Structure 1
Amino acid sequence: MKNLPEQFAHPYTFAPKFKKSVVYFSMEFAIDQSLKTYSGGLGFLAGSHMRSAYQLKQNLIGIGMLWKYGYYDQTRNADNSMAVQFREKIYSFVKDTGIRFQLTIQNRPVWIAAYFLPPQTFGSVPMFFLTSDTEGNDNWARSLSYHLYDKDASTKIAQCMILGLGGMKLLDELNYQPDIYHFNEAHAVSGVFHLYKKFGKLAEIKKHLVFTTHTPEEAGNDKHDINLLESMNFFNDIPLTEIRKITGIKDNIFNHSLVALRFSKIANAVSKLHGDVSRTMWNGHSGVCPITHVTNAQNNLYWADEELEKARRKSDTKKITARKKELKKVLFKTVADQCGKLFSPDVLTIVWARRFAAYKRPDLLTRDRERFERLMRNTRYPIQFIWAGKPYPFDEGAISNFNQLYYLSHLFPNMAVLTGYELALSKTMKDGADVWLNTPIVTREASGTSGMTAAMNAALNFSTFDGWICEFATEQNSFVVPVAPNYPEWDRDNTDINNLMDALEQKILPMYYDRPADWQSTVLQSMNDVNAFFDSDRMATEYYEKVY
């Protein structure tokens, strides 16, 4: 069947150039603050894609997971150290489709229920969410869809099976066969073994499958023992000898991304630099499909403050400056509420906010303590710093890093560390930031899209030269530090610290306070440049043109 059943259909006639039918599989989607089916950047990106696809009238639907406890709620313990809280999420706006089917996981039948998010609810394409937390399942089976990125390896494999094999079974239940299956990351790769049974040969799957890789980290590409996967029914009852033949895997290590690359007609990285890194990374492997790039983007309609956007279109820098002060006051209410600190809208405010991970180096500027203190106590050029972000709930190193920053903030009335970094806080922080700080180790950040939405809201990017920044930054629209030598690590980090501090002291602070007209023209240039290329309407269009 070429069309979805009427009750799940798109509420529009497809635009002529977007008629090809696509199903987009993703482990996480950040569609709205109230729907907690995401952890970070991958979800933010997927959410923007689903919104732009709706705005452009594309023939695309999304399939994801309905997580009972979401990722986690980030709160504080009695001593203010970070606490991980798992609280049940209940949504009245996600509709039960009544569709139920079974998957075999670890030789046990597991019921899967499908829920539907109507397009008009949040302005997204039709979205389906799968869960095993449904009647007929025991506690073990129900628990498979409790936690996004469960720490138990076999549970996470089962989650990937629900998304991949379960997503394909859902399409059968809907009697819907799209032209293209799009895997956003390799989590859904088990789905290819459903397609193999359906189409009978690899060449036929290759006509219909595309894959987006987001991970330049070798460790970030999931690998499992092929015998463990077989014991869990990951391969959809296809004999292991045949699996080895079609996947090309000779040893016992099943690399999910590698198999996705071998089964796809084309794959894409998520920035120009990431494309180069990915082609080099997979170069030594046989049977890998061509890898192009579609640079990530974010949805302007969702992220940009309306008044800032109106002022940008009129090139009204005075209005942008005035509105920015209003938005800073809104952010500072959250700072006062969470941290008991009163920030001033007249002071340059720098924000570092994204997932806490070691390669992103959240604490980088604080490592030269003497220089950081000097910066924080400078009365001629005052400064305010805000940090936020969620570490993986079981990454003790990242949680410790978060806590150390929080304890350090007690020494400075102009430093705050916030909890609860989700869509709503992210929006508030981008609205209220003057400068959006980004400090990844170069080539380790595939895209790092948070700076795009900050730029849409009149914040200037201040970054190492990585990810999307390489395609955006000029001396007229942002502050970028030179690439440091890669080894030894302490030397690289010290070079980055010194370059970042020099830029702050010699360029950013003097421009903000002494040359406000230059600051305003840089902000306007940044806003115009980010909207010219980094709005997700361009990205969603490019997927049809370059990938589908």
Structure 2
Amino acid sequence: MEYAIDHALKIYAGGLGFLAGSHMRSAHDLRQNLIGVGMLWKYGYYDQVRNDDQTMRVQFQKKYYPFLQETGLRTEVLVNGHRVVVKALLLPPQVFGTAPILLLTTDIPENDYLARTITHRLYDTEPSTRVAQSIVLGLGGAQLVDQLGGVATYHLNEAHALPLAFHLLARLGSVQKVRKQVVVTTHTPEKAGNEESPFRFLHDMGYFGGLPEAAVREATGMHGETFSHTLAALRLAGRANGVSQLHARVATDMWADHPGVCPIIGISNAQHAGFWQDPLLRQALDDGDDDGLVDRKRELKRRLFEVVADQTGKLFDPQVLTIVWARRFAEYKRADLLLHDLYRFNRLMEQRELPVQIIWAGKPFPFDAKAVELFNSLVRLCWKHPRLAVLTGYEMLLSRQLKQGADVWLNTPRRLREASGTSGMTAAMNGAVNLSISDGWVPEFARDGENCLLIPPADPQLDAADQDAEDYRQLMEIIEGRLLPTYYRQPAAWLRLVRQGMSDVLPHFDSHRLAHEYHVLMYQ
């Protein structure tokens, strides 16, 4: 459903897209025989701008991409009994250095207004539109791939394009043959990320591509009123993967009670170093030029602070330790964990001996009122404090600036709920020290005190409120007792921490390794 390719192409929301974008870049660099199929969202996910009082405003703005090429490829699908024409545009490899990507749209004159809206907004809240989007991506995409001559393997990045499996089932005639051609990546242990729908609703919408109900139920093992998209994908795929080694174990346990699920292996997420890493920082590291590394990091902080000044009017100091929390504003990621005890937090911010600056950024789901209010509460908290800032417009350009300008990259999910959390990888590539809960990709990288700072896990038997309290206590003890004293009083030790993080994150968390593992472990 989403590819985060470049800041200019706003068809992504979060980590799912960032993984797909880096995969496409590395597939290009490695000359793999791979194409991407996605959706051309006319209004993107949304543009994050501000109201007059600096709180967040959701803006849906039409997008135009002249660099996309006409292909002449078209097909038709049935959505709720109505004919919908699907057109494919090409993102050529030379534009951003990716494998070729077909982007599908229904916003063309051949369709009526309702059909045209199918490809307007990523993750539309209307259930029938979401199902129509899956039909266009899965069934329409599969039919267009057939026009190109077909492929050996179809890789579903989540279950969004699952209708292609029913297209293959109708053509091949057996689940066993479908499994030989379909692999799937599952991205989240969160219930909201594993969609369920009424079976009859999907059938009437055309989700199953005209297959008889009995055939669908037999193939998927769904005999009740509710259809689990992820479970069906895991039963129709021959192989599946989680997006970190820990997540693969969590996902295996999560679906263990459901018969017929394919094996779930771990292929840990990674990001394209060529896109994300500042080349001068890397050069200074490779040359052993500590002064050059420190100077370049300070320059990157200055550039980030120009964005802070432009958005908020605050003048941050490049000499001051700067902590950044930036990612999706999902509840389990706990953007407000630092504020668990406001008295202690304010005491930290008001002391001047070892000063700290903090930046928050990220996009809540635009129709999640609770998440938007959390974002706005941070805006109000930061309103008058000179060393606190909340930035809007969290897309690829700002994401890269934050990672290059941060001294510390803060990651605070409730443990075992973060499947991967890739942002810390690209932060480490740019000399930011990860201060993190040990979840997702982090256990594969982290050596506490050597290449990062780890927040000890709270007792998993505690309820959420007590876990939050314990995680906050540990976090503040690290900031006050280890982080600030090391940064200000032991610059050589701090530099060792920065260098080691930069050294350890590559090459394993570069997407060249990821693309190779998908090719060998999933496609072959």
Aligned AA (1:156): R
* Equivalent-residue separation in structure 1 for 2:288 and 2:437 (angstroms): 28
Alignment of structure 1 residues 94-173 onto 2, 5 Å: 94-173=68-147
Aligned to 1:477: 451
User: Deviation of residue 170 (structure 1)?
Assistant: 0.7
Alignment of structure 1 residues 389-538 onto 2, 5 Å: 389-475=362-448, 476-486=450-460, 487-538=462-513
User: Deviation of residue 520 (structure 1)?
Assistant: 0.5
* Equivalent-residue separation in structure 1 for 2:214 and 2:127 (angstroms): 24
Residue 373 in structure 1 maps to residue 340 in structure 2:
no
1:386–1:417 Cα contact (<8 Å) kept:
yes
Number of residue pairs aligned between Structure 1 and Structure 2: 521
1:221–1:256 Cα contact (<8 Å) kept:
yes
1:45 equivalent among 12, 19, 23: 19
Percent of aligned pairs sharing the same letter: 51
Aligned AA (1:538): R
Deviations 1:3-30 (A, max 9, x none): xxxxxxxxxxxxxxxxxxxxxxxx1000
2:10 equivalent among 36, 41, 49: 36
Unaligned runs of 5+ in 1: 1-26
Unaligned runs of 5+ in 2: none
* Equivalent-residue separation in structure 1 for 2:369 and 2:127 (angstroms): 18
Residue 544 in structure 1 maps to residue 515 in structure 2:
no
* Secondary structure of residue in 1 paired with 2:22: helix
User: Deviation of residue 114 (structure 1)?
Assistant: 0.5
* Equivalent-residue separation in structure 2 for 1:414 and 1:389 (angstroms): 18
Residue 251 in structure 1 maps to residue 224 in structure 2:
yes
Aligned to 2:175: 202
* Secondary structure of residue in 2 paired with 1:91: coil
User: Deviation of residue 470 (structure 1)?
Assistant: 1.0
Deviations 1:53-83 (A, max 9, x none): 1111111110000000000000111122110
Deviations 1:234-261 (A, max 9, x none): 1111111111111111111111111111
* Equivalent-residue separation in structure 2 for 1:294 and 1:312 (angstroms): 28
* Secondary structure of residue in 1 paired with 2:506: helix
* Equivalent-residue separation in structure 1 for 2:303 and 2:323 (angstroms): 15
Residue 358 in structure 1 maps to residue 331 in structure 2:
yes
Residue 336 in structure 1 maps to residue 309 in structure 2:
yes
1:315–1:524 Cα contact (<8 Å) kept:
no
TM-score by length of 1: 0.94
- The CA RMSD measured in Å over matched residues stands at 0.8
Alignment of structure 1 residues 72-91 onto 2, 5 Å: 72-91=46-65
1:267 equivalent among 240, 258, 270: 240
* Equivalent-residue separation in structure 1 for 2:340 and 2:134 (angstroms): 39
1:301 equivalent among 258, 274, 279: 274
* Equivalent-residue separation in structure 1 for 2:192 and 2:55 (angstroms): 28
Aligned to 1:54: 28
* Secondary structure of residue in 2 paired with 1:442: coil
Deviations 1:201-247 (A, max 9, x none): 11111111111000111332011111000000111111111111111
Aligned AA (1:120): Q
* Secondary structure of residue in 1 paired with 2:425: helix
* Equivalent-residue separation in structure 2 for 1:197 and 1:311 (angstroms): 57
* Secondary structure of residue in 1 paired with 2:142: helix
TM-score by length of 2: 0.99
User: Deviation of residue 315 (structure 1)?
Assistant: 2.6
